[in-house]
Amino acid sequence: MNKVGIMIMSGFAALWFVWGLSAVNPINGLWLLVPFAVSGAMIAGAMRLPIVASKAERRRIGRVVAWASGIEGVVIFLASNVLTNLGQPGYVVIATLAVVGLHFLPLAHFLRAPVYYVTGAALVGLAVVGLSINPEATRLIVVGTGAAVLLWLTCLASFSRRAVSAQG
């Protein structure tokens, strides 16, 4: 994963964490610092990484990510509307998480990032587990914070891989 990927993924991790915390009423302000501190540290670390891909490779990566993310957005929009119209808005988080997890699979292939297979499978697995969690508030906490942790772990795996490849 490149530095921009780490920054984007850690930013989305913070958003997932906050979405999970949104089930806690009221949200303690100190808990809101956690995701932004973790993601901020990862973003700061990513900014220090050198750019290793050529300009052409960065363009190819951008196209792949744009297609995968565009399709992901459309599917999430459709799933959210269908679930809401069926009177099941509490499962929007599950559908969103499953789609996010599935979007990592083509990225793993086209970006040659095997860690994304693990990330995608883990996110889809968390969505499946989330189907059995009730009440809705508990489901949101588990799924939201769980997704954040999985995305942060993916970022850490990327940092680790970059450190190992830099050593030799």
Query: Tens digits of per-residue pLDDT, 25-34?
Result: 766 677 788 8
What is the C-alpha to C-alpha distance for residues 106 and 14, in angstroms, rounded to an integer?
A: 23
Quick check: 16 and 149 in contact, CB under 8 A? no
- Cα 119 from Cα 103, distance rounded (Å): 10
By the 10 Å C-beta count (0-12 exposed, 13-18 middle, 19+ buried), 11 is classed as middle
> Which tens digits make up the pLDDT trace of 63-119?
999 999 999 999 999 999 999 999 999 999 999 999 999 999 999 999 999 999 999
Averaged over 55-70, what is the pLDDT? Answer: 94
H, E, C per residue of 83-97 = HHHCCCHHHHHHHHH
Residue 160: predicted pLDDT:
79
Q: Is the pLDDT of residue 166 over 60?
A: no
Given this model, what pLDDT does residue 167 score? 54
For residues 161 and 63, the model is more confident at: 63
CA distances 42 to 1, 25, 38, 45, 118, Å, are 13, 28, 6, 5, 20
User: Which two three-digit tokens encode residue 21?
Assistant: 């915390």
| 138 vs 83: CA distance, rounded Å | 19
148 or 30, which is more confident: 148
pTM over 0.85: yes
User: What does the alpha-carbon distance between residue 8 and residue 151 come to, in Å, rounded to a whole number?
Assistant: 10
